[in-house]
Amino acid sequence: MTNKVLIINFEEIYLKGKNQKIFIKQLVRNLKRKLANYKNYLDFTKAHGGSYFIEIIEDIPENILQDIIDKVKNTPGITGFYVADTTGISMEEIAEKSVQHTRQYVDEFESFAVIAKRINKAVGFNSMDIGRRVGSDISEKLNKKVDLTKPDFKLYIKVRGKYTLIYSKIIPGIGGLPVGTSGKAIAMLSGGIDSPVSTFMAMNRGLHITAAHFHSVPKTSPQSIDKVKMLVKKLTDFQGQIKLYLIPVLDIQQAIAKHTDSRLRLILLRRIMLKIGKKIAEKEKAKALVTGDSLGQVASQTLENMKATEEATDMLVIRPLVALDKKHIIETAKKIGTFDVSILPHDDACGLFTPKSPETKAQLKYVKEQCNKLDIEDLVNGTLQKAETVIISDTDKMPEYIL
Ligand code: ATP
Ligand code: MG
What letters, b where the CB count within 10 A reaches 16 and e where it falls short, cover 322-352?
Answer: bebeeeebbebbeebbbbebbeeebebbbee
* CATH 3.30.2130.30 segments of the chain: 4-174
Question: Using alpha carbons only, what angle is made at residue 221 by residues 257 and 388, rounded to the nearest 5 degrees?
Answer: 80
User: Measured in angstroms, how far is the CA atom of residue 148 from the centroid of ligand 1?
Assistant: 54
Task: Check whether 3 has a pLDDT greater than 90.
Answer: no
What is the pLDDT at residue 201?
98
The answer to whether the CB of 214 is under 6 A from ligand 1 is yes
> Is the predicted pLDDT of residue 64 greater than 60, yes or no?
yes
User: What is the Å distance from ligand 1's center to 247 Cα?
Assistant: 14
Quick one: which atom of ligand 1 is closest to the CA of 266? 11
Stretch (H or E) spanning 342: helix 339-342
Q: Give pLDDT, residue 16.
A: 60
**For the CA of 290, the nearest atom of ligand 1:** 20
Sequence-separated (6 or more) residues with CB below 8 Å from residue 176: 12, 76, 77, 203, 204, 205, 206
pLDDT at 45: 83
Q: CA–CA separation, 217 vs 46, rounded Å?
A: 50
C-beta 194 within 6 A of ligand 1: yes
How far, CA to CA in Å, does 321 sit from each of 185, 201, 332, 359? 16, 9, 11, 22
pLDDT at 24: 86
Residue 140 and residue 151: Cα distance in Å, rounded? Answer: 17
**Residue 349: its pLDDT value, please?**
65
| 32-62 residue pLDDT tens | 999 999 999 999 887 666 788 999 988 889 9
293 lines ligand 1 (CB under 6 A): yes
- In 3-state terms, what secondary structure has residue 107? helix
Give pTM, 2 decimals.
0.91
Strand partners, 202: none
Whether pLDDT at 99 is above 80: yes
What local confidence, expressed as pLDDT, does residue 401 receive?
59
Task: Indicate whether 306 pLDDT > 70.
Answer: yes
β-pair partners for 388 = 246
d(CA 186, CA 284): 8
DSSP designation for 105: T
Distance 270 CA to ligand 2 centre (A): 11
pLDDT of 79 higher than 80: yes
pLDDT grade, residue 396 (50/70/90)?
Answer: confident
Is the per-residue pLDDT at 12 higher than 90?
no
In 10 A of CB 24, how many CB atoms?
Answer: 21
- Under DSSP, the state recorded for 350 is T
- What stretch(es) of the chain map to CATH 3.40.50.620? 184-393
Is residue 302 lining ligand 1, measured as CB closer than 6 Å?
A: no
Predicted local confidence at residue 402, as pLDDT: 52
The 10s digit of each residue's pLDDT in 135-161 is: 999 999 999 999 999 999 999 999 998
Is the distance from the beta carbon of residue 349 to the nearest atom of ligand 1 less than 6 Å?
Answer: yes
Q: What is the CATH number of domain 184-393?
A: 3.40.50.620
pLDDT at 139: 97
Architecture of domain 4-174: 2-Layer Sandwich (3.30)
Ligand 1 atom nearest to CA at 195: 3
Helix ranges (DSSP H) in 177-325? 194-204, 223-235, 250-259, 265-284, 303-310
Q: Is 143 left (phi over 0), alpha (psi -120 to 50) or beta?
A: left
**What is the Cα 384 distance to its own chain's centre?**
28
Decide whether any atom of ligand 1 lies within 6 Å of the 83 Cβ: no
Residue minimizing CA distance to atom 25 of ligand 1 = 190
Judge if the upstream peptide bond of residue 218 is cis by omega within 30 degrees of 0: yes
Q: What is the pLDDT of residue 25?
A: 87
- Sorting pLDDT into bands at 50, 70 and 90, what band is 20? confident
The answer for residues whose C-beta is within 8 angstroms of residue 90's C-beta and 6 or more apart is 123
Count the Cβ atoms, other than its own, within 10 Å of residue 205: 16
- Give ion ligand 2 contacts, CB < 5 A: 190, 192
pLDDT at 297 over 90: no
Round to whole Å and give the CA distance between 366 and 261: 10
Mean pLDDT taken over the chain:
92
Among residues of the chain, what percentage have pLDDT more than 70?
95
Check if 252 has its Cβ closer than 6 Å to any atom of ligand 1: no
Residue 269 CA to ligand 2 center (angstroms) comes to: 13
Nearest Cα to 333, choosing from 343, 318, 348, 323? 343
DSSP H or E stretch at residue 158: strand 153-159
> Which pLDDT tens digit goes with each residue over 154-197?
999 999 988 999 999 999 999 999 999 999 999 999 999 999 99
Q: Per residue in 268-279, pLDDT tens?
A: 999 999 999 999
Atom of ligand 1 nearest to the CA of 349: 27
Ligand 1 nearest atom to the CA of residue 247, by list position:
28
Q: What band does 403 get if pLDDT is binned at 50, 70 and 90? A: very low
Mean pLDDT throughout 118-145?
95
